[in-house]
Amino acid sequence: MELRNHTILITGGTSGFGYEFARQLLALGNTVLITGRNPAKLADTKRRLPQVHTFQSDVSDPAAIQRLAEQVGKQFPGLNVLINNAGEMRKLNLQDPATDLLDLTREIDTNLAGPIRMVQQFLPQLRAQKTAAILNVTSGLALTPYPVCPVYGATKAGLRSYTQSLRVQLQATNVKVFELVAPSAKTPLSEQFAADFKDSGVKESDLMAPDRVVAQALQSMQRDAWEVFPGMATALRYLSRLAPGFLVKQLSKGLTEALAQPQATAKAKAAG
């Protein structure tokens, strides 16, 4: 798929992978739209990338997705690429009796239900174009449990499975379905977990720069390679098959200490 002269919508586009997708796709000559929850972060991104079009929207809110689709449909009827990037990652102690039941599933709303609803809402517009694509950003933690962030890993595993089913259902249409299985990278989402990753044997030097991750994803799309596993995601891919028990044990190191941290310092959101 040639990545030029498209109209592309990126959720969670104010930092990390989302920002890099916006920056690199603008440089290739595309019209780029981004979403985010935080107006200040959207304004800052607009200042740094003047050509980008910003929309305040929350993928965890079905009504907000419907409003976004109406706005985009009117202003950018030629939209033909959707990148589901927005995500949230939190530490959760599943034995904590004080955990609120609604708050417990917040990551599901953002990381799993959000992309599913975005695809459902925008698919008719994508189908109306000559060429179209969907890229879902999952994670290496879709391949193996990370007990420190149990719901996050479950959402990414679910999104990976959904993406594979979506690809099959759309294989006879004009819509190509891609997946970026993202590694640990130097993003606001991952950096707040740096100490916990270190306990699992992940060094800071192992974290990929977001621009390199995104560049590999775009190269993969241009080759029509449906899945891309940059950096450590490749190792997780094979270890999850060859030594799954060892991998879970390694990722569980420091679990007690990690969950003992106050919840206020144990949250991370991607892109506003």
| Residues that are catalytic | 152
| Region of residue 231 (phi > 0: left; psi between -120 and 50: alpha; otherwise: beta) | left
The DSSP secondary structure of 107-141, one letter per residue, reads HIIIIIIHHHHHHHHHHHHHHTSSSEEEEEEEEGG
Are 177 and 226 in contact by the 8 Å Cβ rule? The answer is yes
Helix (H) or strand (E) holding 62: helix 62-75
Q: Which residues contact 73 (CB under 8 A, 6 or more apart)?
A: 79, 125
What 3-state DSSP class applies to 266? coil
Q: Which residues contact 132 (CB under 8 A, 6 or more apart)?
A: 80, 81, 126, 174, 175, 176
